[in-house]
Amino acid sequence: MSDHEHHDHPLAPETRDAGSQALSEALRSSFIIVQIAMATLIVVIILSGVFTVGPQEKAVILRFGKPLGEGQKMLLGAGLHWSYPQPIDEIIRIPITEIQKVTSTAGWYQTTPEQELAGTEPPAGPSLDPRTDHYVITADRNIIHTRAFISYRIDDPLTAIFNFASGTNQQFNLAGISNAVQNAANNALVATAARFNVDDILTGKVEEFQEAVAQYVRELAASEHLGVVIEQCQVQSLPPRYLKDDFAAVTAARVNRDKLISDARSDQNHILSQAGATASSITNLAESARVRYVTAIQSDAAAFTNLLSRYESNPQLYMRLELTEALAGALTNVQDKFFLPQRADGKARELRLMLNREPPQPGSAANP
Amino acid sequence: MKKKAITPLIAAVLLVIFVLLLFTFQVPQSQVVVVSTFLKPTDTITNAGLYVKWPWPVQSLTRFDQRVQISEDKFSETYLADHSILLANLFVGWRISDGRQFMNVFKNGSTASAQQQLEQILRSAKLAVFAHYGLSDFVNSDATQLKFNEVEKDIQASVDKELAQNNYGIRIEFLGIKQIGLPDSVTKTVFGRMKAERTILINTAQYGGEADAAKIRAAAERQAADVLANAQADATRIEGEGQAEAAKTLAVFQQNPDLAVFQLELAALKSSMNKNTTLFFDETKPPFDIFRKLPASPETK
């Protein structure tokens, strides 16, 4: 067979060798290309598992549909991560921050973000359309607007993310749990307002009402197994817009009443402190008078004891001396002195006093 | 040899991948999967993971979202036991508890159909339960009289019963009242009443404030008078004590009452004579009686 081939094709061995060599070369080249392609494919497959998580999101790896890790460890934070390629692993990205916020809807009137920003309100009407102007009914059967701003934290990611659907799609996000927390807030507002009076909610027991709503939301979050922790609950309440001026007038009247009472209390303090001061003065004066009186009596007694012997030795002389001395002192001080000698006939002299006379002007011509 | 080994290896890998794709399936965390064998539901898988199945057309899969769906009924009027009318709507968290049954009841396992059905059930349960309660059970200053939770529990029990009786494959996770309100026309009346109440409160605050202030001032005056009266009494007592204390000294003056009286009169005389005193005297009173004792002048003699 080989001879036949050799004779029929004298150049065949050379041609065959060249062909085989070319084929071999081609196969070798192809194989190298395949090897490079496979190596590249493996590298691509490995690198395709690398993914990044942004600062405002978390990621969960589902391996064959099951989340990897438990509790907070399930959530991958910002940075570079790796997973097996699909269909082994699937990356679920969730836009999540540490604190989530949601606002209730059930008790507030219809407004737009622009109106909220501008601080304006829609015009008030003499009634409320319950389809658009939401409100709550208070214990005293009044109507007010109220809303709760809830801040919450995901405590159990498995429950919060994988247990609540957002509409009919199959996406994983926080819309479902946000909706559940919002409904809890709505429920809490309606149920709590039902046992508070309107003035308590608006002015008297604002803090108490807010705490009651927060407590109710916390209880609902626990009983409904939402997997969240309610961090903060702030409640804003307003009277109906139609009665805004009436409520403001009550507030003004109460402020005025408080001022009247405050002024009265101020007067009370003044009256009582003045009375206390006067009372102290009276008792102090009495005390000092007592001391003075007793001291005077005691000093008089001491003086009496000292003078007694002198007096008893010659009472008349003693009295004359003392009286003369006293009159001498008095006469020195007395401004007007009139000596009236006895009448020669022995009759009493008649004196006439001019009362209310003009006081003498010192240095005047009439009184030099 | 090396070249020969790699080609079958690649083929084997591809074959394994193909077989895996054909014979396995995943159940994600949020889904419930109903496995049908020759279109007849034979198994329900609720736990996430990798599972084995026969390839189509032997076995096929139907997937449902088993997460909690939140639905609510319409904000509609309900009549209460006391003939009041209250608007209310409920929210409900529900999930597919039995995928096979759910698929049987609702065409193509439509969640939207299930929600519609559930809303109807909620509405009829709401009407039935609310009719047993009065308005004071929904709003009351006395928290012990409120029956909010009872109403919600009764509605959930009614809904649970309905779902169980008809075997919808749905389970209620939670239920609550989202909102209550009054008919449009009633809010107008309520506003009128609230306005009247505000007027009363304004008058109460105004006149009450004045009255309270007057009471406070009157009480203060009364208290001040008491304080002063007590002080006067104390002063009288103190003076009395002083006199009693002084009386102990009076015995000294008993030794010679004439001298004591003289001393007192002398002291009174000294204290009464001041600069503004006008003094009239004659020669009969000492020391001016000295004039009478003077020797007579020669002319007089």
The distance of B7 to chain A (nearest Cα, Å) reads 10
Using a CB–CB cutoff of 8 Å, tell me whether A84 touches chain B.
no
3-state secondary structure B42-59: EEEECCCEEEECCCCCCE
Do A148 and A269 belong to one domain? Answer: no
Across the interface, which of A143, A180, A334 has its CB nearest the CB of B275?
A: A334
Within 13 Å of residue A265, how many CA atoms lie on the same side as its CB? 7
d(CA B46, CA B97): 9
pLDDT at A12: 53
Across the interface, which of B68, B197, B278 has its CB nearest the CB of A165?
A: B68
Using a CB–CB cutoff of 8 Å, tell me whether B241 touches chain A.
yes
Which positions in chain A touch B224 (Cβ < 8 Å)? Answer: 271-272, 274-275
Do A228 and A282 belong to one domain? Answer: no
Using a CB–CB cutoff of 8 Å, tell me whether B256 touches chain A.
yes
Q: Which of A24, A137, A147 to mutate to test the interface with B (most CBs of B within 10 A)?
A: A137
Do A155 and A130 belong to one domain? Answer: yes
A132 located within any domain: yes
Each residue's pLDDT tens digit, B140-151 = 988 899 998 999
pLDDT at A10 over 70: no
Give me the CATH number covering residue A179.
Answer: 3.30.479.30
Each residue's pLDDT tens digit, A17-55 = 777 888 888 888 888 888 888 888 888 888 888 899 988
Using a CB–CB cutoff of 8 Å, tell me whether B287 touches chain A.
yes
Do A90 and A104 belong to one domain? Answer: no
pLDDT at A215: 96
A354 located within any domain: no
Q: Do A243 and B112 lie within an 8 Å CB cutoff?
A: no
Last residue within a domain, chosen from A287, A302, A321: A321
- Residue labelled with tokens 């006469």: A331
Cα distance from N-terminal residue to C-terminal residue, chain A: 185
Each residue's pLDDT tens digit, A111-136 = 888 888 888 888 788 888 877 889 99
pLDDT at A365: 47
Taking one residue from A and the other from B, the number of pairs with CB-CB distance under 8 angstroms is: 355
d(CA A89, CA A64): 6
In B, minimum Cα distance to A290 occurs at B242
H helices of chain B, in order, are: 2-23, 99-105, 111-130, 148-166, 184-253, 257-272
Q: Do A253 and B205 lie within an 8 Å CB cutoff?
A: yes
d(CA A270, CA A284): 21
Do A165 and A196 belong to one domain? Answer: yes
- Residue labelled with tokens 């003094």: B279
Do A155 and A180 belong to one domain? Answer: yes
Burial of B190 (C-beta count, 10 Å sphere; 0-12/13-18/19+): buried
Q: Do A261 and B213 lie within an 8 Å CB cutoff?
A: yes
- A3 pLDDT band (50/70/90 cuts)? very low
d(CA B267, CA B273): 10
Beta bridge partners of A235: A148
In A, minimum Cα distance to B292 occurs at A341
pLDDT at B184: 86
Residue A322 is inside which H or E element, if any?
Answer: helix A315-333
What single-letter DSSP state applies at residue A202? I
Instruction: Name A80's Cβ contacts closer than 8 Å, sequence gap at least 6.
Output: A50, A51, A52
Do A115 and A129 belong to one domain? Answer: yes
Using a CB–CB cutoff of 8 Å, tell me whether A307 touches chain B.
yes
Closest C-alpha to B248, from A297, A154, A282: A297
Q: Which of B23, B73, B135, B180 to mutate to test the interface with A (most CBs of A within 10 A)?
A: B180
Residue A215 Cα distances to A275, B105, B143, angstroms: 51, 40, 15
A334 located within any domain: no
Which positions in chain B touch A39 (Cβ < 8 Å)? Answer: none
Contact of A80 with A134, CB cutoff 8 Å: no
Q: Do A165 and B67 lie within an 8 Å CB cutoff?
A: yes
A210 located within any domain: yes
pLDDT at A257: 93
d(CA B289, CA B287): 5
Last residue within a domain, chosen from A94, A119, A136: A94
A311 located within any domain: yes
A353 located within any domain: no
pLDDT at B301: 39
Could you count the other beta carbons within 10 Å of the beta carbon of residue B155?
Answer: 25
Using a CB–CB cutoff of 8 Å, tell me whether B294 touches chain A.
no
- Residue labelled with tokens 């002048």: B297
* Mean pLDDT for chain A overall: 84
Which positions in chain A touch B263 (Cβ < 8 Å)? Answer: 300, 303-304, 307
Do A143 and A189 belong to one domain? Answer: yes
- A329 pLDDT band (50/70/90 cuts)? confident
Q: Do B273 and A334 lie within an 8 Å CB cutoff?
A: yes
Which of A13-22, A94-103, A230-239, A271-280 shows the lowest mean pLDDT across its residues? A13-22
pLDDT tens for the 301 residues of chain B, in order: 455 677 778 788 888 888 888 899 988 888 889 999 988 888 889 888 889 999 888 999 988 888 899 999 999 999 999 999 999 999 999 999 888 889 888 877 788 899 999 999 999 999 999 999 999 999 998 889 999 899 999 999 999 999 999 999 999 999 999 999 998 888 889 999 999 999 999 999 989 999 999 999 999 999 999 999 999 999 999 999 998 888 888 888 888 889 989 988 888 888 887 777 777 777 777 777 777 776 665 554 3
Which two structure tokens, joined as six digits, stand for A337?
């002195």
Rg of the Cα atoms in chain B: 55
d(CA B37, CA B58): 6
Could you count the other beta carbons within 10 Å of the beta carbon of residue B122?
Answer: 26
Across the interface, which of B148, B191, B277 has its CB nearest the CB of A242?
A: B191
Could you count the other beta carbons within 10 Å of the beta carbon of residue A36?
Answer: 10
Last residue within a domain, chosen from A94, A111, A130: A94
Top-confidence range, A88-92, A208-212, A227-231, B42-46: A208-212
Which positions in chain A touch B214 (Cβ < 8 Å)? Answer: 264
A82 located within any domain: yes
Q: Do B141 and A195 lie within an 8 Å CB cutoff?
A: yes
Do A83 and A105 belong to one domain? Answer: no
d(CA A101, CA A88): 34
Number of domains in chain A: 3
Using a CB–CB cutoff of 8 Å, tell me whether B82 touches chain A.
no
pLDDT at A359: 63
The distance of A78 to chain B (nearest Cα, Å) reads 23
Which positions in chain A touch B260 (Cβ < 8 Å)? Answer: 304
Residue B177 is inside which H or E element, if any?
Answer: strand B170-181
pLDDT at A206 over 90: yes
Contact of B51 with A88, CB cutoff 8 Å: no
Each residue's pLDDT tens digit, B122-167 = 999 999 999 999 999 999 988 899 998 999 999 999 999 999 999 9
pLDDT at A254 over 80: yes
CB < 8 Å from A in window 153-172 of B? none
CB < 8 Å from A in window 170-199 of B? 173-174, 176-185, 187-188, 190-191, 194-195, 197-199
Top-confidence range, A51-60, A83-92, A183-192, B261-270: A183-192
The distance of B38 to chain A (nearest Cα, Å) reads 25
Instruction: Determine the average pLDDT of the residues in A296-315.
Output: 89
Q: Which of A268, A280, A321 to mutate to test the interface with B (most CBs of B within 10 A)?
A: A268
Do A234 and A173 belong to one domain? Answer: yes
Q: Checking DSSP bridges between strand B278-281 and strand A336-339, what pairing results, if any?
A: parallel
Do A113 and A198 belong to one domain? Answer: yes
Which two structure tokens, joined as six digits, stand for B73?
């009924």
The residue segments making up the domain with residue A233 are 100-239
Main-chain dihedrals φ then ψ at residue B24, nearest 5 degrees: -125, 160
pLDDT at A5: 43
Q: Do B191 and A256 lie within an 8 Å CB cutoff?
A: no
Do A292 and A314 belong to one domain? Answer: yes
Closest C-alpha to A125, from B194, B191, B199: B191
A346 located within any domain: no
- A357 pLDDT band (50/70/90 cuts)? low
Using a CB–CB cutoff of 8 Å, tell me whether B9 touches chain A.
no
- Residue labelled with tokens 């008790």: A107
Instruction: Compute the C-alpha angle A96/A99/A101, nearest 5°.
Output: 90
